[in-house]
């Protein structure tokens, strides 16, 4: 009986639902204020709705609206909490719990409450004043002040979110501010609700308060930790990792593309870009007011009359929605790192700037005798600036970060797509002109070739840019209306199809080749062959498709990422055939980071080589940490144990979400602390961690805080896993000393233990990889059989050593090389092999450009300064 009693007391195994419930309770315990406030917000709304329903009031509650002309502060304060309907309440509840969760965890409850109230009240005053100032700039104060509006819970909490960003890490701070302000500005520009100005003002006030309370961001102190003066004055996106830059630009592009949809759902249409939203407006075209506007007899509501006239045609509305779809496709491409998407986004943004200038300034001037003074009176100058500025800023930022988008579409595919667009435009434009001249009486008034040519651009442009270009004529018959509205619609449909085809083809081709090379890497390769699977590489496949070479084209140099991989029986023939392929493509083949075996074969074929670094290799089967040489490693392991730090072995996808976010934040913090952009080529970043075959080993403390992380790339021989190579190695700036030693030692110990448990499948090596341009030994393997070194080799080696010295203060290659020596590894040299000594200078520049594509003269000079200071 006693045994049965004990068995009955055994705890039941946890189910997924019970685990989720426990997680929810734990989360709620740490965010009481957020959950209680959100629950109170929902309860207040429901109770007040019930009370108002008893008095005959129905949802939505429209009488909460007020205007600047008939200002009611009571209604505005009530609208901060009381929503108009169920959807707004649900959206407000989600926003409140998200913002307060972020703010409470960073600032505490009392500070969150104070910041929310102060920024909301300040935002109300400043926002109303800003809105009135916009009306003055437009010379249309009456139209602005008559706009009905309410506030929302956004005004109440947005200041706390922006203030909390000052207490956040680099990655989260940048995301909150960039995406937050872009979203606010898009809603404001496309909607024009006076309450949107209050949201913007509250956000700015909250950020100022947070900056004052939290002080300078931590990333600004990195100069004391090894940064250089070259980084001063650099913009934040120039320090971002490639993955983070793609995310931010993709999100910004998508938000701006969704602006017209925001305009449709907005109850107001007073924003500079709100034309499309007029379709949903209860207003109608007032012919008397329109005539006064055209005759320049009034300035009240002229924007509204011009816009209502254009959006009364469904073809114009669809023509404005299709560019939105095209921009969303481009935003997706930007997020995926497609170069053509980034260039396309820049081109569209520049086109928008050009069209804004033409239609707000030049076209009105041709029909006005007042020149710029007349345009200023009607607000055209201000409208032009507000319309063009967002697109201009995004285009400039994308151009400055174009090196982050390195996946090409291919010239042949690009030419075919552009040809299709050009043919579509010419066909649609020709149809419009031919039909107009064949049936001039189908339009009112009767059209001429001059009037048709004058209206032709308007048939292809979104109506949001046509405020000041009144219609020259309108169709009278059904066929005329179809032609009048349909030519632009057909053109944009073809553009959308081409864009989707480009995206689909680029993704399919790139992924198909990467998948094939990924299978070849699993067949056989060397310690660094897995780098061939990274984005940015191009691939040459052998005739049998059983082996391949990965390379990058830099200034006419085909720079390989290590040697061939796949079937080892083909490697020697691959070296020859890849060289022949490069000759046919007018490229200079250079084999970079190859090992001794392939280097010796190339030397026999008349090539030259020079050592560019030493790869550190550890045999985990004989791993031990006994002896005086291992004192630093033992100290790091023991310190981690005392402080409750543990190591976790996982892939990036299998790691918890908060761990992945912390890893990205650590990487972004590391990148922000460098005087140069993040290095690529044979150095991976966060995006290279996502391959499920790559393993992570990260250190985490008792509070769940990730302190450091390493990534390990696999190596196969005959399809069997034989080794792991260290790639990603980053830690927090405030992590305990020795955290990297701890992680590498723990990886070696894990492999040692696995080998003892299964000797037949024991891993044969653990490579610590090679620090680029570090550990070069001029006396080793760089001389001929007579002990002589060629003059060209001396020049190249001297040049690479100079580059290594210049980059040392920023990246610490030599320090990294010396750090790896702590693990008592065997050192295996790696080489760069080249055929033409006359191209040595070009090869040296190609190596530098492959690692740091965007290094500038100013940054290079900044790196030289610490060297000069060190010699004093």
Q: pLDDT tens digits, residue range 3-27?
A: 444 444 445 555 556 666 776 777 7
Number of Cβ within 10 Å of residue 19's Cβ equals 10
DSSP letter assigned to residue 275:
G
Domain closes at, from 481, 510, 539: 510
Query: Is the domain of 804 the same as that of 828?
Result: yes
Specify if 432 maps to a domain. Answer: yes
pLDDT of residue 305: 44
Query: Is the domain of 473 the same as that of 614?
Result: no
pLDDT of residue 724: 94
* Distance, CA of 241 to CA of 687 (rounded, Å): 9
Specify if 636 maps to a domain. Answer: yes
* Distance, CA of 193 to CA of 150 (rounded, Å): 8
Q: Where are the beta strands (DSSP E) in 755-839?
A: 765-770, 826-834
Specify if 361 maps to a domain. Answer: no
Residue 269's pLDDT band (cuts 50, 70, 90): low
pLDDT of residue 11: 53
Residue 379's pLDDT band (cuts 50, 70, 90): low
- Scanning the structure block, which residue is given the tokens 């020079």? 610
Distance of alpha carbon 295 from the chain centroid: 48
CATH number of domain containing 143: 1.20.1540
Query: Is the domain of 609 the same as that of 479?
Result: no
Query: Is the domain of 119 the same as that of 84?
Result: yes
* Distance, CA of 756 to CA of 521 (rounded, Å): 26
Distance of alpha carbon 146 from the chain centroid: 40
pLDDT of residue 782: 52
* Distance, CA of 688 to CA of 694 (rounded, Å): 8
Residue 352's pLDDT band (cuts 50, 70, 90): confident
- Our CA angle for 785, 789, 792, nearest 5°, is 135
* Distance, CA of 390 to CA of 304 (rounded, Å): 22
- Average pLDDT over the chain reads 75
Specify if 336 maps to a domain. Answer: no
* Distance, CA of 655 to CA of 663 (rounded, Å): 10
Specify if 202 maps to a domain. Answer: yes
Query: Is the domain of 561 the same as that of 587?
Result: yes
Query: Is the domain of 620 the same as that of 673?
Result: yes
Check whether the bond before 445 is cis (ω within 30° of 0): yes
Distance of alpha carbon 582 from the chain centroid: 34
pLDDT tens by residue, 633-660: 888 889 988 889 999 999 998 888 888 8
Number of structural domains found in the chain: 3
Q: 240 or 169: whose pLDDT is higher?
A: 169
Specify if 263 maps to a domain. Answer: no
109 and 192 Cβ atoms separated by less than 8 Å: no
Q: Would you state the structure tokens that stand for residue 283, as one six-digit string?
A: 């207003």
Residue 475's pLDDT band (cuts 50, 70, 90): confident
Secondary structure class of 80 (helix, strand, coil): coil
Query: Is the domain of 594 the same as that of 498?
Result: no
Q: Would you state the structure tokens that stand for residue 238, as one six-digit string?
A: 């120039």
Query: Is the domain of 484 the same as that of 535?
Result: no
Specify if 332 maps to a domain. Answer: no
Secondary structure class of 204 (helix, strand, coil): helix
In sequence order, which residues have a C-beta less than 8 Å from that of residue 469 and are 6 or more positions away?
Answer: 306, 359, 363, 364, 458
pLDDT of residue 710: 92
Number of Cβ within 10 Å of residue 448's Cβ equals 14
pLDDT of residue 234: 42
For the residues 114-134, what does the mean pLDDT come to? 85
Exposure string for 49-71, b = 16+ CB within 10 A, e = fewer: beeeeeeeeeeebeebbbebeee
Number of Cβ within 10 Å of residue 89's Cβ equals 20
Tell me: pLDDT of 736 over 70: yes
Query: Domain containing 117: what range?
Result: 31-234
- Residue closest to 100 by CA, chosen among 37, 184, 45: 37
Cβ burial, residue 749 (10 Å; 0-12/13-18/19+): middle
Domain closes at, from 197, 215, 234: 234
For the residues 788-794, what does the mean pLDDT come to? 52
Q: Is the pTM of this model over 0.95?
A: no
pLDDT of residue 198: 87
Query: Is the domain of 482 the same as that of 582?
Result: no
CATH number of domain containing 667: 3.40.630.30
Strand partners, 588: 557
Highest-scoring range by mean pLDDT, 61-70, 204-213, 551-560: 204-213
Query: Is the domain of 761 the same as that of 815?
Result: yes
- Residue closest to 747 by CA, chosen among 712, 781, 714: 712
| Biggest distance spanned by C-alpha atoms of the chain | 106
pLDDT of residue 268: 58
Check whether the bond before 60 is cis (ω within 30° of 0): yes
Exposure string for 468-506, b = 16+ CB within 10 A, e = fewer: bbbeebebeeeebbebbbbbbbbbbbbbbebbeebbeeb
641 and 795 Cβ atoms separated by less than 8 Å: no
- Residue closest to 156 by CA, chosen among 187, 182, 118, 194: 118
Q: Would you state the structure tokens that stand for residue 345, as one six-digit string?
A: 């986004």
pLDDT tens by residue, 203-243: 999 999 988 888 776 543 333 333 433 344 444 444 445 66
pLDDT of residue 707: 92
Tell me: pLDDT of 870 over 80: no
Domain closes at, from 213, 234, 255: 234
Strand partners, 698: 648, 709
Residue-wise DSSP of 20-54: HHHHHHHHHHHTHHHHHHHHHHHHHHHHHHHHHHH
For the residues 501-506, what does the mean pLDDT come to? 64
Number of Cβ within 10 Å of residue 658's Cβ equals 11
**End-to-end CA gap in the chain:** 86
pLDDT tens by residue, 170-189: 767 877 887 788 778 777 77
Specify if 307 maps to a domain. Answer: no
Query: Is the domain of 746 the same as that of 817?
Result: yes
Tell me: pLDDT of 363 over 90: no
Q: 133 or 702: whose pLDDT is higher?
A: 702
Query: Is the domain of 731 the same as that of 786?
Result: yes
């Amino acid at each position: 009986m006693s045994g049965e009693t004990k068995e009955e007391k055994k705890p039941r195994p946890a189910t997924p639902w019970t685990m989720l419930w426990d997680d929810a309770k734990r989360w709620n315990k740490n965010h009481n204020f957020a959950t209680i406030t959100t629950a109170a917000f929902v309860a207040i709304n429901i109770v007040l709705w019930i009370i108002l329903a008893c008095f005959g009031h129905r949802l939505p509650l429209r009488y909460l609206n007020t205007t600047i002309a008939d200002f009611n502060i009571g209604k505005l304060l009530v609208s901060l909490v009381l929503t108009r309907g169920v959807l707004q309440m649900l959206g407000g509840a989600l926003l409140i719990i998200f913002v307060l969760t972020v703010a409470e965890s960073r600032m505490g409850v009392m500070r969150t409450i104070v910041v929310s109230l102060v920024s909301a009240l300040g935002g109300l005053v400043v926002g109303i004043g800003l809105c009135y100032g916009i009306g003055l700039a437009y010379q249309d104060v009456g139209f602005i002040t008559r706009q009905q509006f309410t506030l929302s819970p956004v005004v109440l909490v947005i200041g706390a979110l922006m203030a909390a960003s000052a207490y956040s890490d680099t990655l989260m701070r940048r995301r909150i501010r960039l995406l937050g302000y872009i979203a606010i500005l898009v809603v404001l520009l496309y909607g024009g609700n006076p309450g949107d100005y209050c949201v913007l003002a509250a956000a700015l006030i909250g950020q100022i308060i947070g900056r004052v309370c939290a002080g300078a961001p931590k990333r600004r102190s990195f100069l004391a930790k090894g940064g250089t003066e070259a980084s001063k004055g650099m913009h934040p996106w120039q320090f971002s990792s490639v993955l983070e830059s793609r995310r931010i630009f993709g999100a910004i592009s998508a938000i701006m593309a969704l602006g017209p949809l925001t305009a449709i759902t907005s109850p107001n249409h007073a924003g500079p870009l709100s034309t499309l939203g007029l379709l949903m407006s209860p207003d109608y075209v007032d012919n008397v007011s329109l005539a006064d506007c055209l005759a320049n007899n009034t300035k009240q509501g002229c924007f509204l009359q011009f816009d209502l006239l254009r959006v009364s045609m469904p073809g114009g509305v669809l023509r404005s929605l299709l560019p939105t779809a095209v921009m969303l496709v481009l935003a997706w491409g930007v997020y995926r790192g497609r170069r053509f998407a980034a260039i396309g986004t820049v081109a569209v943004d520049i086109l928008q700037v050009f069209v804004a200038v033409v239609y707000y300034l030049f076209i009105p001037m041709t029909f006005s005798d007042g020149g710029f003074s007349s345009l200023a009176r009607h607000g055209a100058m201000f409208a032009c600036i507000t319309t063009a500025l967002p697109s201009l800023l995004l285009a400039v930022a994308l151009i400055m970060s174009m090196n982050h988008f390195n996946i090409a579409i291919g010239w042949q595919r690009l030419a075919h797509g552009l040809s299709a667009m050009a043919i579509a435009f010419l066909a649609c434009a020709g149809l419009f002109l031919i039909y107009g001249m064949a049936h001039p009486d189908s339009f009112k008034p009767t059209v001429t070739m001059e009037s048709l040519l004058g209206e032709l651009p308007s048939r292809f442009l979104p109506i949001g840019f046509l405020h000041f270009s009144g219609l020259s004529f309108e169709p009278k018959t059904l066929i005329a209306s179809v032609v009048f509205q349909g030519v632009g619609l057909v053109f944009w449909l073809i553009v959308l199809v081409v864009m989707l085809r480009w995206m689909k083809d680029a993704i399919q081709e790139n992924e198909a080749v990467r998948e094939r090379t990924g299978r070849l890497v699993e067949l056989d390769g060397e310690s660094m062959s897995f780098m061939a699977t990274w984005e940015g590489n191009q691939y040459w496949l052998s005739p049998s498709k059983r082996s391949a070479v990965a390379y990058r084209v830099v200034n006419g140099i085909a720079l390989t990422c290590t040697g061939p991989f796949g079937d080892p029986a083909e490697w020697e023939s691959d070296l020859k055939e890849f060289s022949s392929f490069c000759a046919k493509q007018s490229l200079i083949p250079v084999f970079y980071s190859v090992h001794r075996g392939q280097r010796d074969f190339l030397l026999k074929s008349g090539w030259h080589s020079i050592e560019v670094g030493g790869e550190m290799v550890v045999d985990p089967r004989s791993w031990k940490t006994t002896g005086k040489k291992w004192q630093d490693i033992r100290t790091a392991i023991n310190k981690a144990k005392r402080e409750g730090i543990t190591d976790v072995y996982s892939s990036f996808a299998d790691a918890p979400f908060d761990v992945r976010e912390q890893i990205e934040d650590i990487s972004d913090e590391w990148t922000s602390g460098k005087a140069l952009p993040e290095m690529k080529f044979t150095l991976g970043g966060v995006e290279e961690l996502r391959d499920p075959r790559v393993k992570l080993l990260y250190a985490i403390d008792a509070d769940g805080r990730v302190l450091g992380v390493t990534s390990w790339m696999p190596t196969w021989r005959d399809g069997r896993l034989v080794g792991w190579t260290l790639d990603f190695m980053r830690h927090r700036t405030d992590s305990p000393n020795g955290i990297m030693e701890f992680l590498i030692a723990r990886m070696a110990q894990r492999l040692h233990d696995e080998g003892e448990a299964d000797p037949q499948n024991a891993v044969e090596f653990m490579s610590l990889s090679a620090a680029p341009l570090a550990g070069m030994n001029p006396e080793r393997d760089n001389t001929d059989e007579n002990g002589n070194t060629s003059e060209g080799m001396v020049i190249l080696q001297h040049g690479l050593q100079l580059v290594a010295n210049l980059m040392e203060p920023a990246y610490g290659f030599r320090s990294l090389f010396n750090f790896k020596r702590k693990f008592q590894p065997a050192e295996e040299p790696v080489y760069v092999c080249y055929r033409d000594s006359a191209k040595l200078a070009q090869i040296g520049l190609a190596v530098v450009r492959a690692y740091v594509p965007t290094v500038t003269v100013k940054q290079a000079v900044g790196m030289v300064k610490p060297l000069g200071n060190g010699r004093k």
